[in-house]
Amino acid sequence: MSNNEGQSSDQLGAPDQGIKYLLAGRSRYNLSLYFLIPVIFTGLSVLSVVVAFQYSKYTVKGVKAPLEVTAWLILVIMLTFLCGFLITWLILRPMKKFVEETKKLPVFSEILGKRQSPKVDELDSFNLFAREVTNLLGKVEAKELFPEIIGQSTAMRGLFRQIVKVASTDATVLIMGESGTGKELIATSIYNLSLRKDKPFVKLSCVAIPEGLLESELFGHEKGSFTGATSQKKGKFELANGGTILLDEIGDMPLETQAKLLRVLQEKEIERVGGSRSIKVDVRFIAASNKNLPKMVEASEFREDLYYRINVFVLVLPPLSERREDIPLLVSHFLETAPKAVRISSNALQVLMNYSWPGNVRELRNTVERIALMAEGGIIEPADIPSDILTSSGMDGIDYGRNKRVQGESRGAEKIEKMSIDDQLKDIEKKMILEALISSGGIQARAAELLGIKERSLWHRIKKYDIDPGSLKDRKTS
Domain-wise residue ranges, the chain:
31-103, 106-145, 154-318, 322-472
pLDDT at 41 over 60: yes
In this structure, which topology does domain 322-472 adopt according to CATH?
Helicase, Ruva Protein; domain 3 (1.10.8)
What are 206-243's pLDDT values in tens digits? 998 888 889 999 998 888 777 777 788 899 999 999 99
**How confident is the model at residue 125, as a pLDDT?**
65
Burial of 270 (0-12, 13-18, 19+ CB in 10 A): buried
Choose between 147 and 298: higher pLDDT.
298
pLDDT, residue 109, reads 54
pLDDT at 59 over 60: yes
Instruction: Identify whether the C-beta of residue 331 lies closer than 8 Å to the C-beta of residue 364.
Output: yes
Q: What value does the mean pLDDT take over residues 22-41? A: 62
Residue 414 has pLDDT above 50, yes or no: no
The domain 154-318 belongs to what CATH superfamily? Answer: P-loop containing nucleotide triphosphate hydrolases (3.40.50.300)
- Which of these, 356, 444, 447, 340, lies nearest to 395 by C-alpha position? 356
Is 334:364 a contact under the CB 8 Å cutoff? yes
Per-residue pLDDT reduced to its tens digit, 350-388: 899 989 999 999 999 999 988 988 787 889 988 889 888
pLDDT (0 to 100) of residue 75: 81
Q: What local confidence, expressed as pLDDT, does residue 149 receive? A: 85
* Sequence-distant (≥ 6) Cβ neighbours of residue 271 within 8 angstroms: 219, 277, 278, 279
Mean pLDDT, to the nearest integer, of 415-429? 65
| Residue 106 CA from chain centroid, whole number | 22
What's the pLDDT score for residue 403?
Answer: 39
Q: Strand, coil or helix: what is 345?
A: coil
Q: Pick 139 or 186 by higher pLDDT.
A: 186
Query: Which region among 144-153, 279-288, 392-401 has the lowest average model confidence (pLDDT)?
Result: 392-401
Give the residue, 90 or 457, on which the prediction is more confident: 457
φ, ψ dihedrals at 343, nearest 5°: -120, 165
Question: What is the pLDDT, as a whole number, of residue 204?
Answer: 95
